[in-house]
Structure 1
Amino acid sequence: MVQIFLDTANLDAIRKYNDMGILDGVTTNPTLLAKENSDPIEIMKEIIRIVKGPVSLEVVSTDIDGMLEEAHRLARFGTNAVIKIPMTPDGLKAIKRLSSEGIKTNCTLVFSPNQAILAAKAGATYVSPFIGRLDDAGHDGMQVIRDTVQIFRNYNFSTKVLVASVRHPVHVVEAAKIGADVITMPPDVLEKMIKHPLTDKGLSTFLADWEKVKRMNPNIDLSLVQP
């Protein structure tokens, strides 16, 4: 089953969708944390507490030693912490080391199947191709997902394909049809997935008809119906 992650650091949004039972995990990054007017460390710790599934927390160092130091610190926030590491030479080294230590990683800023292959070989738990940014640059982001999913299946890579930089619900459907393992999206995209004008219209009609039933049967009370 495809997993749905929320790409945000907004605690209210995370609580909202987590309470619906549709949220499998959360991805964050420095940009998302910067949008919130709170201590980023406390926000990350709170997300870890709210969400039972994987929560990606990103390092900001670019050298191997800094990445590893931050990764070990972030991993202590909770057993469901996943460390986001950029797709760079030092990032691959960090993924290899962390993987050998049993720390889950998410290789971020991936833009090609070649990069995805290398991240998988280094031992990444997740690899995150950024399809929206590829589309913005005139490339076919979804083709990268197709190629990566096929390659991973060909060689039985355990690394999961996490579709990132999702712009709209069509991206979600296409990624799910291809067979991506995870799709992470901002709250507004998830809200659009829930909403449909025909659902609203149908509900309005049902409620109006029920009012007619109550007028014809003044004593009806559903609360009195025995389970």
Structure 2
Amino acid sequence: MSNKLEQLKAMTTVVADTGDLEAIAQWRPVDATTNPSLLLKAADLPTYRPMLDAAINYAQQQSGSDIETLAHATDYLAVQAGQKILELIPGVVSTEVDARLSFDTQATVDKARHLIALYDQIGVDTSRVLIKIAATWEGIRAAEILEKEGIRCNLTLLFSFTQAVACAEAGAFLISPFVGRILDWHLKQSGKTAYPAAEDPGVLSVTRIYNYLKTHNYNTVVMGASFRNTGEIEELAGCDRLTISPALLEELQNDKGDLARQLSPETAASAESKLMLPERDFRWGMNEDAMATEKLAEGIRKFAADQVELELRVQKIAKVA
């Protein structure tokens, strides 16, 4: 009998939630996704040092202020990492826009175009790149513009049905609803130590989103993310894509049990009418969802802090060099 990871791959596209090139080479996912936190961890790995040096060298050849030079370096590092990852996988890689731009539509669009131009400059097929943007109102509007230009987007830090509907209406290629961080919030609020997998608030959120989007024939891909345990993954088996950490991939590989499909386009059923979400309704929906509001803000702060730390790391290396 095949293990649960192989069974999952038969019904869901498995994405590696890591920037570690050795881990990606080991697990051979179809796609991979990165963010500033993952790049910060990867920057400590020996395989990344040549890329850091190349990024610093590239940035020093560009004109601009010290702040702009750091942005050039971290952008180039992210693109180099994406290029290396694409050499190991058959699918796409997600590269994230600086989280500090999450409330600026035009700046997000400009940064996305710049990242795509860098990929093109180093010879990467840009159809294999997704631009990762926080699912704020401004980020969703940026994605709407970019999608019309043929730049496909991955809307991340997505915690609510409201965000998912707005992203689908904007024509986003892919959304990354977070499972584990939703669970974290509910555990803290309820005082519970655990939920049964089938009752996990994060699992229920993604299931609702998936069923709604499939029922109303949106093309937006649903990719569950941020898992805390394999039980959450198993309850979402059949979802379009799932992005999974190496540790949980290993657990699934070592489990020889049966894995039942839980989600499919054929059986998806939502009793909810199709919604249109103008800005006022989006903001009201977020206002009424304390979990989504808190986790979105927390996620943006964390990614922004890791981006700053990555810049400091690059700055330190540049001075030593």
TM-score, length of structure 2 as denominator length: 0.57
8 A contact 1:52–1:80 mirrored in 2: no
- Kindly indicate whether residue 146 of structure 2 is the aligned counterpart of residue 98 of structure 1: yes
Using CA pairs below 8 Å that are at least 6 residues apart, which structure has the higher relative contact order?
Answer: 2
- 1:136-178 Cα offsets, whole Å, 9 max, x none, are 00171111111101111221000011000012221111011xx
- Kindly indicate whether residue 182 of structure 2 is the aligned counterpart of residue 182 of structure 1: no
Alignment partner, residue 176 of structure 2: 128
CA distance in 2, matches of 1:87, 1:196: 34
Q: Which amino acid aligns with 2:33?
A: T
Alignment partner, residue 157 of structure 1: 218
Residue correspondence of structure 1 range 1-227 to structure 2 within 5 A: 1-18=11-28, 23-37=29-43, 38=48, 39=52, 40-41=77-78, 42-60=80-98, 61-62=101-102, 63-76=104-117, 77=119, 78-138=126-186, 140-176=201-237, 179-196=238-255
Shift of 1:45: 2.3
Q: How many residues align?
A: 192
- 1:180-203 Cα offsets, whole Å, 9 max, x none, are 2110011111011111489xxxxx
Q: Which amino acid aligns with 1:158?
A: N
- 1:96-124 Cα offsets, whole Å, 9 max, x none, are 00110111111101111111000111111
CA distance in 2, matches of 1:170, 1:132: 11
8 A contact 1:75–1:82 mirrored in 2: no
The answer to which structure has the higher strand fraction is 1
Identity among equivalent pairs (%): 33
The alignment partner of 1:165 has SS state of coil
The alignment partner of 1:124 has SS state of coil
- 1:21-56 Cα offsets, whole Å, 9 max, x none, are xx1100111110010123333222211332220211
The alignment partner of 1:35 has SS state of helix
Q: Which amino acid aligns with 1:146?
A: T
CA distance in 2, matches of 1:163, 1:89: 20
Q: Which amino acid aligns with 1:6?
A: A
Alignment partner, residue 225 of structure 1: none
The alignment partner of 1:183 has SS state of strand
Instruction: Give the gaps of 5 or more residues in structure 1.
Output: 199-227
Q: Which has the larger radius of gyration?
A: 1
The runs of at least 4 aligned residues of structure 1 exceeding 6 Å deviation read: none
The 3 A distance-change label for structure 1 pair 85 and 5 is: same
CA distance in 1, matches of 2:256, 2:13: 25
- 1:76-134 Cα offsets, whole Å, 9 max, x none, are 42321001111112101111001101111111011111110001111111111111000
Shift of 1:3: 0.7
CA distance in 2, matches of 1:69, 1:15: 32
CA distance in 2, matches of 1:75, 1:120: 22
CA distance in 2, matches of 1:75, 1:180: 28
CA distance in 1, matches of 2:209, 2:20: 30
TM-score, length of structure 1 as denominator length: 0.80
CA distance in 1, matches of 2:90, 2:30: 8
Q: Which amino acid aligns with 2:245?
A: P
